[in-house]
Amino acid sequence: MIRLSVNINKAATLRNARGGNNPNLIEFAIDCERFGADGITVHPRPDERHIKREDVLLLKNVIKTEFNIEGFPSKDFIDLVLQVKPDQVTLVPDLPNVLTSNAGWNTIKNQKFLKEIINTFHNEGIRTSLFIETEEEMIIAAKETNTDRVELYTESYARNFFNDQEKAIKPFIDAAHLAQKINLEVNAGHDLNLQNLNFFASKIKYLKEVSIGHALICDALYFGLENTIQMYKRNLK
């Protein structure tokens, strides 16, 4: 069964828009788990425009499924991860001013940098994943960093899905097959939604986990949070 990790950044954005604590992010995460989420993902950024450092520390104490923290491995981020010790850390190459993750790692250029950071996390028993695109050479180089997993950046799949589904999915099928061949586990995320998720999940063998936030929160406005999480989980079967 492919695991669904719900990214709760957008719930934090809504809270921050008015100040105060509505919606209560901690209760929101607990409810996501209660409604069937297999994990919770957060992406704290330096400006705290959605997830705040305090949120991450509080979530550590309440999440019962799997806690995934993603972000650029700055010193502050690394220190936070080492303090919280989540189940998984997903490293992304985002600069501080990026609106949302929009590219995968160049694992050739950044191999030494990533390898040192991943070793630090492994020493604390934290599973690691690298946000990556589908190029063969980047996947092979990712293996050399000693990461446990790669998270395939699926924006191009989502963008091209309605034009040609088979063409859109093929690079991801090839990438997942290569990752499995060299003993890398595979996650996926970015712009996956109720329209394109089932096809992706049915075609990508070896898929361990998807991380979905923006689309899921938007759908919850129409369908309700519990129903929406169950709809996404059905699409993963």
Question: Which residues participate in catalysis according to the annotation?
Answer: 43, 70, 190
The tokens for 134 are 């589908």
Tell me the one-letter amino acid at 204: I
Containing H/E element for 214? Answer: helix 214-223
Beta strands in the chain (DSSP E): 3-7, 39-42, 67-71, 88-91, 127-132, 149-153, 185-189, 207-212
Cβ(44)–Cβ(78) below 8 Å: no
CA distances 77 to 84, 91, 117, 212, 220, Å, are: 11, 10, 11, 21, 30
Question: Bridge partners of 97?
Answer: none
Coil, strand, or helix at residue 105? coil
* Closest by CA position to 59, among listed 39, 73, 37, 45: 39
Chain CA centroid to CA 120, Å = 20
First to last CA, the chain: 7
150: which DSSP letter? E
